[in-house]
Structure 1
Amino acid sequence: MRLGVLDVGSNTVHLLVVDAHSGARPLPAYSHKAELRLAELLDGEGAINSDGIDRLAATVAEALQVAEDQGVEDLLPFATSAVREAANAEHVLVRVAEETGVKLEVLTGEDEARLTFLASRRWFGWSVGRLLLLDIGGGSLEIAFGQDEEPDAAVSLPLGAGRLTSGWLPGDPPDTEALRSLRRHVRAEIARVVGEFTRFNPPDHAVGTSKTFKQLARIAGAARSSEGPYVERRLSRAGLEEWVPRLAAMTVEERTELPGVSEGRARQLLAGAMVAEAAMDLFRVDEVEICPWALREGVILRRLDHLRGS
C-alpha cells in the first residue's frame, strides 16, 4: 500500500510518500518539503502568530493535494515540538482541521524518541547490540537507549538547533559571550539526564539521526547523499571539536558554502554542532554512525506493525 507521512516540524513541513507492505522495508516513492520555520513564527507569549497559522494551514492543504496526486491510501499526519509547545497549540490544531480536514496528532517528546529509536533499531538490526540514539531536530534533542525495539530510557530536551539559534545566538557570527552562555546551558540540560542512561550497561553502538547530524557528518568528510543510503557515514567527537570553533567564526553566508549545508539550515548548524558535541562528550561517545531512518520512518513502521497485528 502507499502510505504518506506528514511531519509538521519546527523547520519544515515534510510529506514522505512510501510504498509499504507488512514485513518489508518501506520504499521511498516521493518527497515534498516546505520550509516554514514555525518555531520562529511566535508572538511574545509563545503562541504561533496568525501569519504562522495561515501559512501552516496553506502548507498542509498543499501537502494533502500532493498526497492525493501521488495516490496515497493512508495519510499519517503528526506535529512535533513547535506545535506541541506553542501556547495556542489547541487553537492551531482546530484551525488546521477546519481548513484542511487534517487532524494532526501531536507527538510527545518521548514519543519522538521512541519512534526514532524504533527506526534506528530496524535499520541496524539486532547485531549492533545495545543502541544509543541521538537525534537533533529544530526544536528538541531526543535521546534513547536500549537493546530491544522499545528503548529502556527515552527523553526529549528543548535543545533543538533552531530553538537555540533564535534564542541564544543572535549575532552573525555570534559573539564569544553568547557562545559561552549557550555552551553552559546545553551541557547543564544534558547533564541532568545522563544518570537515567548510565545506570544501564554502556552502549555497543551509537547513532545520530536527522538533518543536523547528516550535515555535520558531511562537512567532516562523510559521503554525500547522492551516493545512497547504504554508504556508511560516521561522525567523530574529535572531528566535531575541530569544527565547532570553525563554524563559530563563520558567517551564515560562509556556512552555506560548506559541502552538504543548505541555505535554510546554515544559520542553525553551529547550535546543532554544539549540542552534538556536548551530547557525545557527556555520554562518552567517541563516534556516531549516521542512520538514514528517523522519526518519519518510525511512524511508518509502527503503523505497519499495527496493520500486521490487526
Structure 2
Amino acid sequence: MRLGVLDVGSNTVHLLVVDAHPGARPLPAYSHKAELRLAELLDADGAISDAGVARLITTVREAGEVAEDKGVEDVLPFATSAIREATNSEEVLRRVAEETGVALQVLSGEDEARLTFLAARRWFGWSAGRLLLLDIGGGSLEIAYGLDEEPDAAASLPLGAGRLTSGALPGDPPGTDDVRALRRRVRADIAKVVSDFTRFGAPDHVVGTSKTFRQLARITGAARSSDGLYVQRELERKKVEEWVPKLAGMTAQQRAALPGVSEGRSRQLLAGALVAEAAMDLFGVDALEICPWALREGVILRRLDHLPAP
C-alpha cells in the first residue's frame, strides 16, 4: 500500500510517500518539503502568530493535494515540539483541522524519542546490541537507549538547533559571549539526564539521526547523500570539537557554502554542533554512526506493525 507521513516539524513540513507492506522495508516513492520554521514564528507570549498559522494551513493543504496526486491511501499526520509547546496549540490544531481536514496528532517528546529509536533499531538490526540514539531536531534533542525495539530510557530536551539559534544566538556571526553562554546552558541541561541512561551500562552502538548530524558528518568528511543510503557515515567527536570554533566565526552565508549544508539550515548549524559536541562528550561517545531512518520512518513502521497480516 502507498502511505504518506506528514511531519509538521519546527523547521519544515515534510510529506514522505512510501510504498510499504508488513514485513518489508518501506520504499520511498516521493518527498515534498516546505520550509516553515515554526519555531521562529512565535510571538512574545509563545504563541504561533496569525501569519504563521495561515502559512501552516496553506502548507498542510498543499501537502494534502500532493498526497492525493501521488495516490496515497492513508496519510499519517503528526506535529512535534513547535506546535506541542506553543501556547495556542489547541487553537492552531483546530484551525488546521477545520480548514484542511487534516487532524494533526501531537507527539510528546518521549514519543518522538521512542519512535525514532524504533526506526534506528530496525535499520541496524539486533546485531547492533544496546543502542544509544541521539536526534537533534529544530525544537528539541531526543535521546533513547535500549536493547529491544522499545527503549529502556527515553528523554526529550528543549535543545533543538532552530530554537537555540533564534533564542540565544542573535548575531551573524554570533558574539563570543553568546556562544560561550549557550555552550554552558546546553551542557548543564544534558548533564541532568545522563545518569538516567548510563545506569543501564555502556552502549554497543551509538547512532545519530537528523539533518544536523548528517550535515556535521558531511563537513567532517563523510560521504555525500548522493552516494546512497547504504554507505556508512560516521561522525567523530574530535572533528566536531575542531569545527565548533570554525562555525562560530562564520556567517550563515559562509556556512551555506560548506559541503552538504543548505542555505535554510546554515544559520542553525552552530547551535546544532554545540548540542552534538556536548551530548557526545557527556555520554563518552568518541564516534557515532549516522542512521538514515528517523522519526518519519518510525511512524510508518509503527503503522505497519498494526496492519493485519495479509
Q: Partners of 1:223 and 1:159 in 2: how far apart?
A: 27
- Over residues 252-295 of structure 1, what are the superposed CA-to-partner deviations in whole Å (9 max), with x where a residue is unaligned? 11001000000000000000000000000000000010000000
- Over residues 1-40 of structure 1, what are the superposed CA-to-partner deviations in whole Å (9 max), with x where a residue is unaligned? 0000000000000000000000000000000000000001
> 1:1-310 residue pairs with structure 2 within 5 A?
1-308=1-308
Report the Cα offset of residue 308 of structure 1.
3.7
Q: Partners of 2:100 and 2:43 in 1: how far apart?
A: 24
- Percent of pairs identical after alignment? 78
Report the Cα offset of residue 201 of structure 1.
1.3
Q: Partners of 1:45 and 1:9 in 2: how far apart?
A: 20
Q: Could you say what secondary structure the match of 1:42 adopts?
A: coil
Q: State the one-letter code of the partner of 1:172.
A: D
Please report the RMSD computed on the Cα atoms of aligned residues, expressed in angstroms.
0.8
Report the Cα offset of residue 309 of structure 1.
6.8
Q: Partners of 1:190 and 1:201 in 2: how far apart?
A: 18
In the alignment, is the contact (CA less than 8 A) between 2:115 and 2:298 conserved in 1? Answer: yes
Q: Partners of 2:143 and 2:234 in 1: how far apart?
A: 18
Q: State the one-letter code of the partner of 1:30.
A: Y
Q: Partners of 1:131 and 1:31 in 2: how far apart?
A: 28
Q: Partners of 1:303 and 1:72 in 2: how far apart?
A: 14
Q: Partners of 1:47 and 1:155 in 2: how far apart?
A: 24
Q: Could you say what secondary structure the match of 2:265 adopts?
A: helix
Question: What's the TM-score once normalised by structure 1's chain length?
Answer: 0.99
Q: Could you say what secondary structure the match of 2:193 adopts?
A: helix
Q: State the one-letter code of the partner of 2:138.
A: G
Q: Partners of 1:218 and 1:88 in 2: how far apart?
A: 37
In the alignment, is the contact (CA less than 8 A) between 2:217 and 2:234 conserved in 1? Answer: yes
Q: Partners of 1:283 and 1:58 in 2: how far apart?
A: 41
After superposition, the Cα gap between the structure-2 partners of 1:200 and 1:309, relative to the gap in structure 1 and judged at 3 Å, is farther
Q: Partners of 2:309 and 2:165 in 1: how far apart?
A: 43
Report the Cα offset of residue 183 of structure 1.
0.5
In the alignment, is the contact (CA less than 8 A) between 2:133 and 2:206 conserved in 1? Answer: yes
Question: What's the TM-score once normalised by structure 2's chain length?
Answer: 0.99
Q: Partners of 1:69 and 1:9 in 2: how far apart?
A: 23
Q: Could you say what secondary structure the match of 1:63 adopts?
A: helix
Q: Could you say what secondary structure the match of 2:229 adopts?
A: coil
Q: Partners of 2:162 and 2:308 in 1: how far apart?
A: 37
Structure 1 unmatched ranges of 5 or more: none
Q: Partners of 2:250 and 2:307 in 1: how far apart?
A: 49
Q: State the one-letter code of the partner of 1:81.
A: S
Q: State the one-letter code of the partner of 1:178.
A: D
Q: Partners of 2:230 and 2:198 in 1: how far apart?
A: 31
Q: Could you say what secondary structure the match of 2:288 adopts?
A: strand
Stretches (4+) displaced over 6 A: none
Structure 2 unmatched ranges of 5 or more: none
Q: Partners of 1:159 and 1:177 in 2: how far apart?
A: 19
Q: Partners of 2:245 and 2:42 in 1: how far apart?
A: 30
Q: Could you say what secondary structure the match of 1:111 adopts?
A: helix
Q: Partners of 1:15 and 1:277 in 2: how far apart?
A: 30
Q: State the one-letter code of the partner of 2:2.
A: R
